[in-house]
Amino acid sequence: MNKTASAHWQGDLKTGKGTISTESGALKENPYGFNTRFGDTPGTNPEELVGAAHAGCFSMAFSLLLGEENFTPDSIDTKATVTIEEQNGSFTVTAVRLVMTASIPGISQEKFAEIADKAKVGCPISKLLNTDITLDATLQN
């Protein structure tokens, strides 16, 4: 399976502009640039897109692992915060913090934490990223 996305860029780093699109059409020529990445200008940026991908991937992996243990979640809500920092003159993604809240009938706190940790380590986007990935998981009753 291959999934594609594309980016178009014009101009220099600080004043240039670009668009990002996905094969599915979920993103179609969404604007991005220096100001959407490091400022407050509306538009997207690569770190935001990585965060969205990671949150979605983790939620699906968690659901899969819950199903393997005969649990069906009522809901799973995941937020991913991607940290980018300047190091040695260039920018590096240094961490991803996953914060997940779920409602799962009949699960114990111990089993919830065990399965959540397996999903954090096992989701394909977690495996892709070469950075510190943390998870704060909350079980709602």
In the predicted model, what is the mean pLDDT of residues 3-9?
92
**45: in domain:** no
Give Cα 36 distance to the centre of its chain. Answer: 18
Do 79 and 117 reside in the same domain of the chain? yes
Domain of 112 in residue numbering reads as 50-140
Do 56 and 119 reside in the same domain of the chain? yes
pLDDT for residue 77? 97
pLDDT for residue 62? 98
pLDDT per residue over 16-51, tens digit each?
999 999 999 999 999 999 998 888 888 888 999 999
The residues near 104 (Cβ < 8 Å, ≥ 6 apart) are 66, 71, 72, 73, 74, 112, 139
**16: in domain:** yes
Do 58 and 28 reside in the same domain of the chain? no
Please give the tally of structural domains in the chain: 2
What's the full length of the chain, in residues? Answer: 141
Do 24 and 89 reside in the same domain of the chain? no
Do 76 and 119 reside in the same domain of the chain? yes
The overall pTM is greater than 0.85: yes
